[in-house]
């Protein structure tokens, strides 16, 4: 169960992700961040509640919608922002960009732009942990769109066969790129897709941070003890398009008052105030601090230099 | 000296690497059973099935598993049973393994060896007979090794396992059971070094895999029938390519033939040809000649496959053309 200190920490993380993403959207329109930008506005609860329970030596793999996962796993926001700007001080020295955030020191082991490609790699890290006798777990974030990829079935089968400590976290936002899930498959719930494999699984309201915290926490404890795999499906709402600047004609915007009810940040704030974990002033302060942190991140990125071209050849092959 | 087959050399190198480094493990389809050609025979008995992992027929996922394990500190040796099936592993290999080091700004490395084999000549038809190494040489971030002899197979495999990069190790099952004399304790062969297997001053033949022994046979015929002394070079590694050894030879012989079993069109021979002529244009007395298969799928019917598959006769004919 979420307690006051954890809720306070998660709230701070979620506000940073929210404002980071909103700012990235603005910077994309101003051509200060580059390439294909996929925002996770509205999905902050899963990133915070999952990564907030992990250790630095637990491996996290994510996909193209990765900024929130990176920040929640401990990547400094200023280095994520510098990466999106293509700067040398970025998380990946400006060579990866938005879809390829990696921060090995915090266990962020990979983000792939090829939907589903991260699934078997996460299983590989879980296999490494077992072979090394470590109690580290591996977590992979993916969207409902990845479930229809061949890698998903292959990886679920292998994970179940080898019983590895891997936790699959599906952020089901109901849309695979531009089209709703119903246009891709007849199986509505991702947790139903894996039913024959006898994998312990759950579907939770991803806008309810406490539910994600509890659902994931239970799986994590078991995985830490060597069990696995597990699948947690989080039903979330992607407030923005598939990527920034996409045509966006394919969906209707959620009504503002309905979103006020669902917004995982506002829900956590209402819960925290009700529980006496923090006051409304604390909530406002958390948001203000997040805005300031994002301001600093933008400044850091703007003041950083682009990498030298020679770095490309230097890093094509590893020398040790 | 010990008499040993190519397949035993590979098997022995894997066992040696697994004995000396706990992080080395083997995975692939049927590997604990030894595989269809015995390349992994006996490994499960010595090292256990935890380190010699049988996998389902899921080339994409097992390649991803190997990459993830490599990123997390292990040294996987992954077997893809036929190079024809590399199609199913290419997303992981080309999009993930090859790019992880660069895209992470140098944080990640993928010390993975992907062993596979390809060969025509065994009536296996067009989906089990291809030589697809040129697809892999086109991907920056991958190293591609293609040994033709038992001694090199063992030594290069040891180097590939020790290498911090993803290395695709392309074997040839037609060569598996040829016995060869190999020095005892030969040790690793460095990646990126060619070997000159026959010295000569009239013509240089650069050949890979099965075409190396075919080229040596062609060279003997050139010597006995034509009075021509051909030099035969096996690059052993395609990426990185030891161009210096090839160019040094061409500057002496002034004529070059490049030979492989793969389809000539778009084959790696074209890359060797282009690089060699750019570096030694003024020394060449004739156009570079290439030997490779015709631009068709491999035919099944035995006489057709035999005609499709290039060998010593085609190398000899190409040498004659280069000599004018």
Domain ranges of chain B: 2-182, 195-323
Nearest CA in chain B to A155: B61
**Residue pLDDT, tens place only, B97-155:** 999 999 999 999 999 999 999 999 999 999 999 999 999 999 999 999 999 999 999 99
Most A-contacting residue of B21, B107, B138 (CB-CB within 10 A), to test interface: B107
- Average of per-residue pLDDT across B38-50: 97
Closest by Cα among B114, B104, B69 to A120: B69
Q: Which entry of B29, B79, B101, B128 is annotated as an active-site residue?
A: B128
Q: Which architecture does CATH list for B195-323?
A: 3-Layer(aba) Sandwich (3.40)
Measured between beta carbons, which residues in chain A are less than 8 angstroms from residue B92?
117, 120-121
Asked whether A235 and A206 are in contact (CB, 8 A), the reply is: yes
Q: Tell me, yes or no, if B128 is annotated catalytic.
A: yes
pLDDT of residue A177: 64
Which residue of chain A is at minimal alpha-carbon distance from B143? A317
- SS3 assignment, position A248: coil
Q: Quote the pLDDT of residue A251.
A: 60
Cross-chain CB nearest to A157 (options B50, B56, B96) = B56
Give chain B's largest Cα–Cα span: 59
Rounded Cα distance between B205 and B249, Å, is: 9
Interface test with chain A among B64, B101, B162, by most A beta carbons within 10 Å: B64
B68-76 average pLDDT score:
98
CB-CB neighbors (< 8 A) of B25 in chain A: 131
Are B286 and B250 in contact by the 8 Å Cβ rule? The answer is: no
Please state the φ and ψ torsions of residue B182, each to the nearest 5 degrees. Answer: -130, 135
Question: Taking the model in full, what pTM does it have?
Answer: 0.96
Residues of chain A with confidence (pLDDT) below 70: 175-178, 242, 247-253
- The residues spanned by each domain of chain A are 4-314
Specify whether the CB–CB gap between A176 and A185 falls below 8 A.
Answer: no
List, as ranges, residues 78-107 from A with C-beta within 8 Å of B: 90-96, 100, 102-104
Asked if B159 is an interface residue toward chain A (Cβ–Cβ < 8 A), one would say: no
Res A285: pLDDT: 97
**A110-140 pLDDT tens trace:** 999 999 999 999 999 999 999 999 999 999 9
Predicted confidence at residue A117, as pLDDT, reads: 93
Give the range among A259-263, B170-174, B201-205 with minimum mean pLDDT: A259-263
User: Across chain B, what does the average pLDDT equal?
Assistant: 97
- The chain B residue lying nearest A121, using CA atoms, is B68
Our answer to whether residue B50 is catalytic in this structure is: no
User: Measured between CB atoms, does A310 come within 8 Å of chain B?
Assistant: no
Q: For every residue of chain B, which 3-state class applies, written as one string?
A: CEEEEHHHHHHHHHHHHHHHCCCEEEEECCHHHCCCCCCCCCHHHHHCCCCEEECCCCHHHHHHHHHHHHHCCCEEEEEECCHHHHHHHHHHHHHHHCCHHHHCCCCCCCCCEEEEECCCCCCCCCCCCCCCHHHHHCCCCCEEECCCCHHHHHHHHHHHHHCCCCEEEEECCCCCCCEEEECCCCCCCCCCCCEEEECCCCEEEEECCHHHHHHHHHHHHHHHHHCCCEEEEECCEEECCCHHHHHHHHHHHCCEEEEEEEECCCCHHHHHHHHHHHHHHHHCCCCCEEEEECCCCCCCCHHHHHHHCCCHHHHHHHHHHHHC
State the pLDDT at residue B24.
98
A114 touches chain B (CB under 8 A): yes
How confident is the model over B252-280, as a mean pLDDT?
A: 98
pLDDT reading at B48 higher than 90: yes
> Topology of B2-182 in CATH?
Rossmann fold (3.40.50)
Same fold flag, B2-182 and B195-323: yes
Enumerate the residues of chain B whose CB falls inside 8 A of the CB of residue A120: 60-65, 67-68, 92
Contact status, residue B87 vs residue B271, Cβ threshold 8 Å: no
pLDDT tens-digit profile of B11-40? 999 999 999 999 999 999 999 999 999 999
DSSP single-letter state for residue A306: P
The total number of residues written for chain B in this structure: 324
Put simply, whether A320 touches B (Cβ < 8 Å) is yes
Tokens 């590893």 locate to A318
Top CATH class, A4-314: alpha beta
- DSSP letters of A198-218? T-EEEEEETT-HHHHHHHHHH
Residues of A in contact with B106 (CB under 8 A): 93, 315, 318
What is the share, in percent, of chain B residues with pLDDT greater than 70?
100
């Amino acid at each position: 169960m979420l307690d006051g200190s954890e809720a306070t920490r998660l709230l701070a993380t979620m506000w940073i992700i929210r404002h980071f993403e909103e700012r990235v959207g603005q910077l994309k329109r101003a051509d200060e961040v580059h390439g294909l930008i996929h925002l996770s506005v509205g999905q902050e609860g899963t990133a915070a509640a999952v990564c907030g329970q992990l250790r630095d030596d637990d491996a996290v793999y994510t996909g193209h919608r990765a900024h929130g996962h990176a920040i929640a796993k401990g990547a400094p926001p200023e280095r994520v922002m510098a990466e999106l700007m293509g700067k040398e001080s970025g998380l990946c020295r400006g060579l990866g960009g938005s879809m390829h955030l990696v921060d090995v020191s915090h266990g962020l082991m990979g983000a792939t732009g090829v939907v589903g490609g991260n699934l078997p790699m996460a299983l590989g890290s879980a296999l490494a942990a077992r072979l090394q006798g470590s109690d580290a777990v591996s977590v992979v974030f993916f969207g409902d769109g990845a479930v229809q990829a061949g890698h998903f079935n292959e990886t679920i089968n292998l994970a179940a066969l080898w019983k590895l400590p891997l936790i699959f976290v599906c952020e089901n936002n109901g849309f695979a790129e531009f089209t709703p899930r119903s246009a891709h498959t007849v199986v509505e719930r991702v947790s139903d897709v894996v039913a024959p494999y006898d994998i312990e699984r759950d579907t939770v309201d991803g806008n309810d941070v406490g539910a994600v915290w509890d659902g994931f926490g239970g799986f994590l404890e078991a995985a830490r003890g060597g069990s696995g795999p597990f699948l947690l499906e989080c039903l979330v709402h992607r407030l923005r398009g598939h990527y920034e600047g996409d045509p966006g004609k394919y969906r209707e915007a959620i009504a503002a008052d309905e979103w006020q009810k669902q917004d995982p940040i506002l829900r956590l704030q209402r819960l925290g105030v009700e529980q006496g974990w923090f006051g409304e002033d604390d909530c406002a302060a958390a948001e203000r601090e997040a805005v300031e942190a994002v301001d600093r991140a933008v400044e850091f990125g703007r003041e950083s230099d682009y990498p030298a071209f020679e770095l490309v050849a230097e890093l094509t092959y590893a020398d040790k | 000296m010990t008499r040993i087959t190519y397949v035993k050399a590979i098997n022995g190198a894997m066992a040696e690497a697994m004995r000396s480094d706990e992080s080395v493990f083997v995975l692939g389809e049927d590997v604990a059973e030894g595989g269809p050609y015995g390349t992994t025979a006996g490994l499960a008995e010595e090292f256990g099935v935890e380190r010699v992992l049988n996998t389902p027929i899921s080339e994409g996922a097992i390649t991803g598993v190997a990459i993830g394990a490599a990123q997390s500190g292990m040294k996987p040796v992954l077997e893809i049973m036929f190079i024809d099936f590399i199609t199913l592993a290419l997303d992981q290999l080309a999009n993930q393994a090859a790019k992880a080091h660069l895209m992470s700004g140098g944080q990640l490395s993928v010390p993975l060896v992907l062993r596979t084999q390809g060969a025509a000549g065994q009536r296996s038809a067009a989906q089990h007979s291809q030589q697809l190494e040129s697809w892999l040489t086109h991907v920056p971030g991958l190293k591609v090794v293609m040994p033709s002899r038992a001694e090199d197979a063992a030594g290069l495999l040891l180097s590939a396992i020790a290498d911090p990069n993803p290395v695709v190790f392309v074997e040839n099952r037609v060569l598996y059971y040829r016995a060869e004399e190999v020095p005892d304790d030969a040790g690793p062969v460095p990646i990126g070094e060619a070997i000159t297997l026959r010295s000569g001053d009239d013509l240089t033949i650069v050949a890979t895999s099965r075409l190396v022994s075919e080229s040596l046979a062609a060279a003997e015929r050139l010597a006995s029938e034509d009075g021509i002394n051909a030099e035969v070079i096996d690059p052993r590694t395609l990426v990185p390519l030891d161009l210096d050894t090839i160019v040094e030879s061409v500057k002496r012989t002034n004529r070059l033939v490049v030979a492989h079993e793969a389809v000539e069109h778009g084959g790696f021979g074209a890359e060797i040809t282009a690089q060699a002529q750019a570096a030694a244009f003024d020394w060449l007395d004739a156009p570079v000649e290439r030997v490779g298969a015709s631009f068709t799928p491999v035919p099944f019917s035995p006489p057709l496959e035999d005609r499709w598959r290039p060998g010593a006769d085609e190398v000899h004919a190409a040498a004659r053309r280069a000599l004018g």
